[in-house]
Amino acid sequence: MNKRNLTDYLLTGFFWVSGLFILLVLVAILAYLIWRGGAFINMEFILGSPAGYPLGSEGGIFPAIKGTLWLVLLALIFSIIPGLATAIYLSEYGRNQRLAEPVNLLVQSMTGIPSIVVGLFVYALCVVKLRWGISLLAGGVALSLMVFPVIVVTSRDALLAVNDNYRLVAKALGVSESYTLWRIILPRAVPGILAGILLALGYAAGATAPIMVTAAAIIASSSGVLLEPVMALPYHLYILFNEHMSLDNAYATALVLVLMLLFINALALWLHSMQERNNAR
Amino acid sequence: MHLAQSKTNTREKFFVAGITIIAALSSLLLIAVVFFMLQESLPIWLDTGGFKFLTGANWRPVAVPPKLGIAPMLVSTMWVALGALLIAAPLGFGCAIFMAEFAPAWLAAVIRPVLNMLTGIPSVVYGFLGAAVLVKFFEVTFDLASGESLFAASLVLAVMVLPFIVANSEAALRAVPAEYRYAGLSLGVSKPYFALHILVPMARKGMLGALVLAFGRAMGETMAVLMLAGNTLLVPTSWFSKGEPLPALIALELGSATPGTLHYQALFAAGLVLVVLVIAVNVIINIILRRTRSGVNSI
């Protein structure tokens, strides 16, 4: 075998290995979590409250699940309407306006802000200045700031992906702009927009750093009172591990969190492919 | 009829004005965050001095007088992020080339959603697995008292940024016009040679952009470094020493810093440094990508 051939074989081998490595990572993570945590997940764990001493070393994670749901709900309430409005502006009305470019650039750059910085900002503004304290409300605000650019970018792209001919034909037929938007463009972008919202939802549910400084408590009832701290799944996982409370519960919590997020992610991917099929028509 | 028409017209105008205002306000969010951090940390820049803050090697925020230097954290941040790229870049580029050129269509169709799923796993889970498995492994294998190190953090960060590198590089590789493939392969060039010597050079700007993006992510990542880097305040001397990157510093100390003290202000200054670094990276990538919109170089 000559040298050229050998290099080719080695390179091809390397490309294959690095491609299969990606698959291996996901499979390994899932398999390991299921192996270590799967046995500890039962109804008691999902629907029970932390117990034992220190609190959390035994018992369930129900308040953490509730807290995460509350946080995500608030984040979406705060971010969906402004996010969609900005996306509609960027895709439908701002195309020829000078404002659109800086808005686009700034929102795009916002996706890069480290989540801990969002936490820092909300801590100073809401927790300290507005005297909300460590609270569900502050956490909701922090998460909404974090997912807002995600919603804008994904919805904008979903709207832009709608075939431009619809806009042209509507305009040519003298259909009003708002009718075109609400009855023609938006319905076609709905799967893509929903996919973006789901993505944002998953992103918010898994975020730890921003709620760690604004909303999370080690133990709380998470009953939805806006100005009280809450428990949250990712933070609970961090505490379980870092404070050496219970490794078994930590694995089980991680598994619950990952399965939840993978389900949301898969749903988003499915919606996204639906949108692509829509646009092909 | 006329009346109804004008009514919808007014409503439409209100709607357009409304979303324009919301869009304008939303773009101000980023500026507001940066400005707010600057305002909160102003005494650090003016009184302590920016240079001293950035290059000081001691962080004793509650001593009298407090010593506020973030050099150890800055070095840790850079070291961890660059280390992550060093590990992730070859694998990421390899996988991108694999998906663009070598993988059978069905395999690429499996890998693509898997990349999405990997980005969907929260950083705290990566940090947890890294700390529970990797660090344990280092402790047992190399007989260490504690296995946390910048290297461990880099390793986990590498896995976290890998999907971003793959997805963006693959897009750049696929944007290379097909004529080059036909021309190259018809000249009898082997597939790996074609990929490495024709495809990659043509897509190098897009691939560089992918790397820069991943660098920004790695610098700002909190949970993984918090759980893996070891959290010591010394200037790291090697990849295998412990350190405390900026995000970890902020996450650990914010709750205990009394508002209005120099300690509190210094944490905001540290946050501002982090934001400026990340935004600078974003601006650089925008400049790189703008010159060639598809990420493909013209010859």
Per-residue pLDDT at A180: 87
Coil, helix or strand for B68?
strand
Q: Across residues B236-249, what is the average pLDDT?
A: 89
CB-CB neighbors (< 8 A) of A109 in chain B: 30, 279, 282-283
Q: Across residues B103-120, what is the average pLDDT?
A: 91
B19/A85 CB distance under 8 A: yes
Phi, psi for residue B59 in degrees, rounded to 5: -125, 95
Closest CA to A258 of A71, A78, A19, A36: A36
Q: Across residues A103-127, what is the average pLDDT?
A: 91
Phi, psi for residue B60 in degrees, rounded to 5: -130, 80
Beta carbons of A22 and B118 less than 8 angstroms apart? yes
Per-residue pLDDT at B6: 62
**Identity of the residue numbered A264:** I
CA distance A81 to chain B (A): 9
Structure tokens belonging to residue B203: 């897509």
d(CA A248, CA A261): 20
B20/A8 CB distance under 8 A: no
Omega cis (within 30) before B65: yes
Structure tokens belonging to residue A122: 């909300």
ipTM of this complex prediction, to 2 decimal places: 0.92
Per-residue pLDDT at B169: 93
A112/B220 CB distance under 8 A: yes
CA distance A100 to chain B (A): 8
d(CA A18, CA A23): 9
A128/B259 CB distance under 8 A: yes
Beta carbons of A64 and A231 less than 8 angstroms apart? yes
Per-residue pLDDT at A280: 66
Q: Residue B258 has what DSSP assignment?
A: P
| Average pLDDT in chain A | 90
The secondary structure of B206-235 as a DSSP string is HHHHHHHHHHHHHHH--HHHHHHSB---SP
Domain B67-291 -> CATH class: mainly alpha
Sequence ranges of the domains in chain A = 3-40, 44-280
Q: Model confidence at B233, in pLDDT bands (50, 70, 90)?
A: confident
Per-residue pLDDT at B1: 40
pLDDT digits 0-9 by tens, A63-93: 999 999 999 999 999 999 999 999 999 998 8
Per-residue pLDDT at A277: 80
Coil, helix or strand for A58?
strand
Per-residue pLDDT at A77: 95
d(CA A102, CA B279): 14
Q: Across residues B230-251, what is the average pLDDT?
A: 88
- Return the percentage of chain A with pLDDT > 70, whole number: 99
Q: Across residues A48-71, what is the average pLDDT?
A: 87
pLDDT digits 0-9 by tens, B159-217: 999 999 999 999 999 988 888 888 888 888 888 888 888 888 888 888 998 999 899 99
| Average pLDDT in chain B | 87
The alpha carbon dihedral of B33, B36, B38, B44 has a sign of negative
> Long-range contacts of range B233-240, CB-CB < 8 Å, 24 or more positions apart?
B233/B59, B233/B72, B233/B73, B234/B72, B235/B57, B235/B71, B235/B72, B235/B75, B236/B72, B236/B75, B236/B76, B236/B79, B236/B150, B239/B79, B239/B83, B239/B149, B239/B150, B239/B151, B239/B154, B240/B149, B240/B150, B240/B151
Beta carbons of A14 and B195 less than 8 angstroms apart? no
d(CA A33, CA A40): 11
Q: Which residues contact B127 (CB under 8 A, 6 or more apart)?
A: A238, B156, B223, B224, B225, B226, B227, B228
Q: Is the pLDDT of residue A164 over 60?
A: yes
d(CA A216, CA A235): 7
Q: Is the pLDDT of residue A211 over 90?
A: yes
A110/B195 CB distance under 8 A: no
Searching chain B, which residue's CA lies closest to the CA of residue A210?
A: B251
Structure tokens belonging to residue A194: 């929903």
A94/B107 CB distance under 8 A: no
A234/B250 CB distance under 8 A: no
Per-residue pLDDT at B7: 65
- Report the residue from B95, B223, B227 with minimal CB separation from A18: B95
Q: Is the pLDDT of residue A30 over 90?
A: yes
B95/A19 CB distance under 8 A: yes
Q: Report the 10 Å Cβ neighbour count for A278.
A: 18
Omega cis (within 30) before A54: yes
Per-residue pLDDT at B298: 38
- Best of B121, B219, B246, B261 to disrupt the A interface (most A CBs within 10 Å) is B121
C-alpha neighbours within 13 Å on the C-beta side of residue B6:
2
**Identity of the residue numbered A132:** W
Searching chain B, which residue's CA lies closest to the CA of residue A254?
A: B125
Q: Report the 10 Å Cβ neighbour count for A162.
A: 21
CA distance A279 to chain B (A): 19
**Identity of the residue numbered B126:** Y
CB-CB neighbors (< 8 A) of B35 in chain A: none
Q: Report the 10 Å Cβ neighbour count for A107.
A: 25
A114/B11 CB distance under 8 A: no
Per-residue pLDDT at B295: 41
Q: Report the 10 Å Cβ neighbour count for B154.
A: 25
Per-residue pLDDT at A163: 85
- Report the residue from B27, B40, B121 with minimal CB separation from A106: B27
Q: Across residues A145-150, what is the average pLDDT?
A: 94
Q: Is the pLDDT of residue B294 over 50?
A: no
- Best of B117, B196, B261 to disrupt the A interface (most A CBs within 10 Å) is B117
C-alpha neighbours within 13 Å on the C-beta side of residue B64:
0
Structure tokens belonging to residue B88: 């992730």
Q: Residue B59 has what DSSP assignment?
A: E
Q: Is the pLDDT of residue B3 over 70?
A: no
The alpha carbon dihedral of B74, B75, B79, B82 has a sign of positive
B111/A19 CB distance under 8 A: yes
Task: Write the CA distances from B157 to A107, A147, A236, B218, B230, integer angstroms.
Answer: 25, 21, 21, 6, 15
CATH, domain A44-280, list 2.40.50.100, 3.40.50.300, 1.10.3720.10, 3.10.20.90: 1.10.3720.10
